[in-house]
Amino acid sequence: MTAWMERPSMAEALKERRRRLAALVERPAVLWSGQSIGRNYPANTYPFRANSHFLYFAGVPLEGAAIRLDSGKLELFLDEPGPAHALWHGEVPGREAVATFVGADAAYPLAELGARATGAATLPATDTTTRAGQTQLLERTLPASHELDRADRALAEAVIVLRLSHDEAALGELRRAAAVSVVAHQAGMRVTPKAKYESEVRAAMEGVIIANRMATAYGSIVTVHGEVLHNEQYHHTLTPGDLLLADVGAESELGWASDITRTWPVSGRYSPTQRAIYDIVLAAHDACIASMKPGVEYRDLHLLACAVMAAGLVDLGILRGKPEDLVERDVHALFFPHGIGHLLGLDVHDMEDLGDLAGYAPGRERSERFGLGYLRLNRPLAAGMLVTIEPGFYQVPVLFGDPLNREKYADAVNWERLGQFADVRGIRIEDDVLVTETGTEVLTAALPTRAEAIESLVLAGA
């Protein structure tokens, strides 16, 4: 039996989501779950991941299914498994069992969808085969998912309203994913003193996720070269003076993500220079979380993190000037060239398939500024919104080595002083923070952030 059938039914929560959607859009919507994708040949597929918009309303990761949402009703379109299916893949729940589990008002074979999809709005599926099917069935071309228009765009905007604010069913899943990710990080820290390669730490962390029957929500980053922001390499050896940066998050069986980064010393002890920078990054992290509540602009959190880090770097003698001036001039972005975080939900960058439609409030656009252009979220916080807070400090050769930057920031950066911090290549501290009516709930709070606590966890494995 499929694992998710053993979970409590989300039917009531799904019904409420449909009710909220019906209050925002009049036109029926059809959403497709998608198909699994061949890796090296069609039958050798990547693990199937259902489309997130589908998952939000259908609840469970059905493959090759569609749903129609109309006035709060849910119609499920799903074919019964063929006769060879049970031999090769075992018994799976049939259409009626799934319909009952998800609280569908009606259920049909996929062949019925054509007749019932006329005039429906939709959101593009992830895989191209399913997208081609959407186009054919709806008898119209479908723009790219970040360029939707008319009814599809109206549907996207309504879905964004819903998905921006997590209900209790979603939070239950998000907390489960966070809890497993916390254990994964603890396992990674503990295995580090005996590990020779980055890959062994990664294996310990992903092993926890697999053992808990979850998936990685994104490609794990486990590296002593944290200065490479999305470092997918993990073949480097670990040496005692290194910092290991691990950005690893689990995704629950129903598709809900977590996203945690910690940076720990391979030896179990931060060097004084590493510790000094670590505490600056942590100060930025803590300042952001302390100031979060409904109404606060996420962009202001980003600027707050920049200011806290700039002030810390001035104190260390690495930067010169007033922190606010340094941030104004984007000096912080030499060290912190990404945004303070992003939305989190069914996607690790939630709803990024829709471009900036979810991340940016209506009328707002990406900044041209070097220090702001990478910001993925620019909205006022609201209760129910889940975001990451992930300040970092990186010594990136392509930024530091750039003669234009060296000249432009000659007065602001004490390059000689910075040279004394060569053992700090990359530090990031990332938590998943839910905005509540009164402030925040840090879903990943069970994983320590303080340097001493991290050291203890690593040394426990020595």
Site residues (vs Mn ion, CB under 5 A): 259, 388
Task: Indicate whether 151 belongs to the interface with its own copies (CB under 8 A).
Answer: no
Which residues have CB under 8 Å from 253's CB, separation 6+? 3, 4, 7, 61, 213, 214
Q: Measured between alpha carbons, how far is 6 from 197 in angstroms, rounded to an integer?
A: 38
Q: Kindly tell me which of 232 and 325 has the beta carbon lying closer to its own copies.
A: 232
Question: What is the rounded (10 degree) CA torsion for 128, 44, 81, 48?
Answer: -60
- Piece of the chain touching its own copies by CB under 8 A; list 89-97, 147-155, 382-390, 429-437: 89-97
Among 197, 294, 423, 442, binds its own copies (CB under 8 A): 197
Q: Where are the alpha helices (DSSP H) in 296-413?
A: 298-315, 323-328, 397-400, 403-408
Q: Choosing among Mn ion, its own copies, none, which partner's interface includes residue 404 (Cβ < 5 to 8 Å by kind)?
A: none
The answer to whether 351 and 163 have CB atoms below 8 angstroms apart is yes
Among 35, 192, 231, 378, binds its own copies (CB under 8 A): 231
Which segments within 142-259 are labelled E, that is strand? Answer: 215-216, 221-223, 243-248, 250-251
Of 410, 165, 447, 433, the C-alpha closest to 305 is: 433
Q: Choosing among Mn ion, its own copies, none, which partner's interface includes residue 259 (Cβ < 5 to 8 Å by kind)?
A: Mn ion
Task: Indicate whether 393 belongs to the interface with its own copies (CB under 8 A).
Answer: no
Q: Measured between alpha carbons, how far is 51 from 67 in angstroms, rounded to an integer?
A: 12
For residue 328, give Cα distances in angstroms to 287, 306, 310, 433: 19, 10, 11, 27
Site string for its own copies, 272-311 (x = CB under 8 A): ----------------------------------------
Among 72, 193, 207, 448, binds its own copies (CB under 8 A): 207
Q: Where are the alpha helices (DSSP H) in 52-149?
A: 52-58, 83-89, 95-102, 113-116, 128-138
Among 45, 135, 165, 414, binds its own copies (CB under 8 A): 45
- Piece of the chain touching its own copies by CB under 8 A; list 8-16, 19-27, 260-268, 347-355: 347-355
Q: Kindly tell me which of 4 and 439 has the beta carbon lying closer to its own copies.
A: 4
Q: Kindly tell me which of 250 and 282 has the beta carbon lying closer to its own copies.
A: 250
- Helix or strand holding residue 290 (H, E): helix 272-290
Task: Indicate whether 404 belongs to the interface with its own copies (CB under 8 A).
Answer: no
Contact residues toward its own copies (CB under 8 A) are 1-3, 6, 37-47, 49, 51-52, 83, 86-91, 126-129, 197, 199-200, 202-204, 206-213, 218-219, 225, 228-235, 255, 337, 346-349, 352-353, 396-399
